[in-house]
């Protein structure tokens, strides 16, 4: 009798609900392996209850949202495939430029994740609690019905919103750098291309292929078998000028105008307004279906006749129709006759693209030279960058890609030291509050007391985002508040600088200067710690400091007060998802700058957008700083 209840028989005897609970101790990979044991276990492991538990354990969205997302995918298993592929992207990403703060928060959308840039801004009359927080879309990653992914970069050119489709490369679980790259791609069997808008197709084809090869979908070029004549050249090995020009050329070719239907919400509003939430879900479902259709047709080509009425760029009706011959690229030239029309001397989009690639190849050769790399490695006088033609011949086509990778980064007080010429975003490590580290995490606030309340003489207050983290130095525990966003017109504090550093084991005896809060209630001080606050303003990468104290106030507020100037920086914990769902969307920058703004700037490059968005006061600094 006991033998009948051992092994797979015991598992099969469990009720579905019980097995779903038991399966929570397994990883998605374990469940897949279990399904390979036998047919009975295959059926059991394929049940929606099991994969609903797996989706819930991934932790990207709530159980309520999982039910809504399931309506547009084949199964919870397909949904889990998508959630696992994007969960490492969720969080806060930053870039050094502009110095006011370049904060991109990646959050769940609708069967998608969305990268939202927080705009440097002042608080409106209602303060931080009621927003609205200004934000702009950077990119989004949508799930197909089978759990595969579709990547869209957002951008705005000449007052027109565009989407730029591309490929999401498999993300590392511990990724800390998000790279925008150009990916060489190979035509699959039959001349069909993978997950991109093709610049080219073989002359023997009668028309561009319009299907995606499922067997290879989502697989990067570097992961497929490459023949001896096609060695893979990483995008990062190209010279900066070549990388920038390739991104500019690719985005100019793959873009399409945002249809009216796709210009709706990227994520639903809060559930406390059920009627509007349901309306948002309908719009989001329709928008997702349209974007996935546009992504699939012709590997990024838009079938204008099959999708009438969509307001796309007229120049794209002459989508690129000739092959970018990798052998010709290897010789440093392209077939000049391909890409030109027979008849009058007019060029198609492909012709212009090829001419630009020719020029890039010529400049790349002139810049990099033709020195061969020695077997012992390149010397400083030899070529240290890959040749552009070597990169192009790695595949039949090229397209955009988003690559979440793990690299070894140094940091200073929780702020990563960044490359100056990488089109990249860097992930900030978020510490979960725990015993002894109760104040770790993201905080937001302004200068002044009471907190977040503009006055008649100061109608707008600059919004600061600070990342609070703990370190040990010389046997002392330190609480460090790293600035990641500043809502002024001209930066007063460097990005990544410590607004204050507190010794959490050193109590402060200084009194709090105010007796009441914004509601005229007595201020209840829970704890006070000695520390130092930033001083001397901009001009120093590691500016000086002056003594002060950090006060822990009722309702979870923090207030740092500079002892000499009596300036008060008040902070509260932030729920960015909630703030963004109540926020106001503003236009994006042009696509490449929208992803990574590499130009050094000390002013608010988003000021024009934020001023016109909702009537907030101009982003000028009218506050007193220590």
3-state secondary structure (DSSP) of residue 71? coil
CATH 1.10.290.10 fits 3-73, yes or no: no
Residues of the chain with pLDDT under 70: 1-14, 16, 39-40, 124-131, 187-230, 298-383, 451-459, 537-542, 607-626
- For residues 243 and 544, what is the distance between their CA atoms, to the nearest angstrom? 38
Total-model pTM: 0.79
- For residues 548 and 567, what is the distance between their CA atoms, to the nearest angstrom? 10
Question: How many other C-beta atoms lie within 10 A of the C-beta of residue 379?
Answer: 11
Identify whether the C-beta of residue 132 lies closer than 8 Å to the C-beta of residue 515: no
Residue 529 is predicted with a pLDDT of 96
Q: For the purposes of burial, counting CB atoms within 10 Å of the CB of 139, is it exposed (0-12), middle (13-18) or buried (19 or more)?
A: buried
Question: How many other C-beta atoms lie within 10 A of the C-beta of residue 522?
Answer: 9
Alpha helices for 400-557 (secondary structure H): none
- Residue extents of the structural domains in the chain: 3-73, 87-323+391-405
Give per-residue pLDDT as tens, 464-514: 999 999 999 888 899 999 999 999 888 888 889 899 999 999 999 999 888
Handedness of CA 393, 399, 404, 408 (dihedral sign): positive
- For residues 83 and 60, what is the distance between their CA atoms, to the nearest angstrom? 7
Pairing of strands 160-168, 397-405: parallel
The tokens of 504 are what? 């959490």
Residue among 50, 45, 116, 55 at smallest CA distance from 85: 55
Helix axes 28-35, 76-86, angle to 10 degrees: 140
Alpha helices for 436-535 (secondary structure H): none
Identify whether the C-beta of residue 256 lies closer than 8 Å to the C-beta of residue 316: yes
Residue among 433, 429, 457, 458 at smallest CA distance from 446: 458
- For residues 615 and 152, what is the distance between their CA atoms, to the nearest angstrom? 30
Residue 273 is predicted with a pLDDT of 82
Q: How many residues does the chain have?
A: 626
3-state secondary structure (DSSP) of residue 56? helix
- For residues 423 and 93, what is the distance between their CA atoms, to the nearest angstrom? 13
Identify whether the C-beta of residue 312 lies closer than 8 Å to the C-beta of residue 304: yes
Q: For the purposes of burial, counting CB atoms within 10 Å of the CB of 538, is it exposed (0-12), middle (13-18) or buried (19 or more)?
A: middle
What separation in angstroms does the CA of 431 have from each of 63, 414, 437, 571?
A: 24, 11, 9, 17
What separation in angstroms does the CA of 514 have from each of 265, 518, 531?
A: 43, 11, 19
């Amino acid at each position: 009798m006991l033998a009948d209840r051992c092994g797979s028989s015991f598992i099969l005897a469990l009720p579905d609900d019980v097995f779903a609970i038991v399966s929570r101790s397994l990883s998605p990979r374990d469940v897949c392996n279990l399904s390979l044991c036998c047919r009975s276990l295959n059926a059991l492991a394929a049940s929606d209850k099991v994969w609903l538990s797996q989706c819930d354990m991934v932790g990207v969205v709530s159980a309520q949202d999982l039910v809504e997302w399931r309506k547009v995918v084949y199964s919870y298993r397909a949904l889990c495939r998508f959630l696992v592929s994007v969960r490492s992207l969720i969080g806060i990403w930053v870039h050094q430029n502009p110095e006011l703060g370049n904060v991109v928060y990646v959050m769940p959308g609708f069967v998608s994740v969305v990268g939202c840039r927080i705009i440097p801004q002042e608080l409106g009359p209602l303060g931080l609690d009621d927003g609205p927080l200004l934000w702009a879309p950077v990119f989004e990653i949508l799930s197909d019905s089978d759990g595969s992914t579709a990547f869209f970069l957002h951008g705005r050119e000449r007052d027109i919103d565009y989407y730029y489709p591309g490929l999401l490369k498999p993300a590392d679980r511990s990724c800390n750098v998000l790279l925008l790259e150009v990916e060489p791609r190979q035509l699959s069997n039959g001349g069909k291309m993978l997950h991109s808008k093709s610049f080219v197709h073989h002359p023997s084809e009668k028309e561009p292929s319009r299907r995606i090869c499922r067997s290879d979908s989502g697989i990067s070029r570097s992961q497929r078998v490459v023949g001896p004549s096609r060695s893979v050249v990483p995008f990062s090995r190209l010279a900066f000028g070549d990388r920038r020009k390739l991104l500019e050329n690719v985005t100019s070719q793959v873009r399409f105008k945002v249809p009216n239907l796709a210009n709706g919400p990227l994520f639903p509003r809060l559930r406390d307004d059920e009627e509007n939430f349901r309306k948002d879900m309908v719009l989001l479902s329709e928008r997702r279906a349209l974007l996935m259709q546009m992504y699939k047709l012709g590997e990024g080509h838009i079938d204008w006749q099959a999708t009438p009425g969509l307001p796309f760029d007229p120049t794209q009706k002459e989508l690129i129709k000739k092959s970018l011959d990798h052998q010709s690229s290897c010789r440093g030239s392209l077939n000049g006759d391909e890409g030109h029309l027979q008849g009058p001397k007019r060029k198609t989009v492909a012709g212009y693209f090829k001419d630009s690639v020719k020029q890039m190849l010529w400049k790349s050769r002139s810049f990099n030279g033709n020195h061969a790399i020695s077997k012992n490695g390149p010397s400083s006088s030899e070529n240290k960058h890959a040749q552009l033609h070597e990169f192009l011949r790695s595949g039949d086509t090229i397209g955009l890609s988003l690559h979440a990778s793990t690299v070894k980064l140094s940091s200073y007080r929780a702020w990563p030291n960044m490359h100056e010429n990488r089109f990249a975003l860097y992930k900030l490590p978020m510490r979960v509050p725990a015993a002894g580290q109760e104040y770790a995490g993201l905080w937001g606030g302004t200068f002044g007391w009471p907190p977040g309340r503009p006055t008649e003489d100061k109608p707008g207050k600059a919004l600061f985002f600070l990342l609070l983290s703990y370190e040990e130095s010389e046997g002392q525990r330190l609480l460090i508040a790293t600035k990641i966003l500043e809502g002024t017109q001209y930066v007063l504090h460097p990005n990544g600088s410590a607004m204050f550093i507190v010794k959490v084991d050193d109590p402060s005896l200084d009194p709090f200067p105010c007796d009441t809060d914004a509601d005229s209630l007595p201020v209840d001080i829970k704890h006070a710690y000695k520390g130092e606050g930033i001083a001397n303003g901009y001009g120093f990468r590691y500016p000086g400091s002056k003594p002060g104290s950090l006060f822990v106030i009722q309702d979870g507020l923090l207030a740092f007060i500079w002892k000499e100037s009596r300036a008060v920086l008040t902070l509260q914990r932030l729920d960015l998802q909630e703030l963004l769902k109540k926020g106001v969307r503003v236009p994006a920058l042009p696509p490449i700058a929208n992803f990574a703004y590499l130009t050094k700037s000390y002013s608010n490059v988003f000021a024009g957008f934020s001023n016109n968005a909702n009537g907030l006061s101009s982003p000028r600094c009218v506050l007193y700083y220590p």
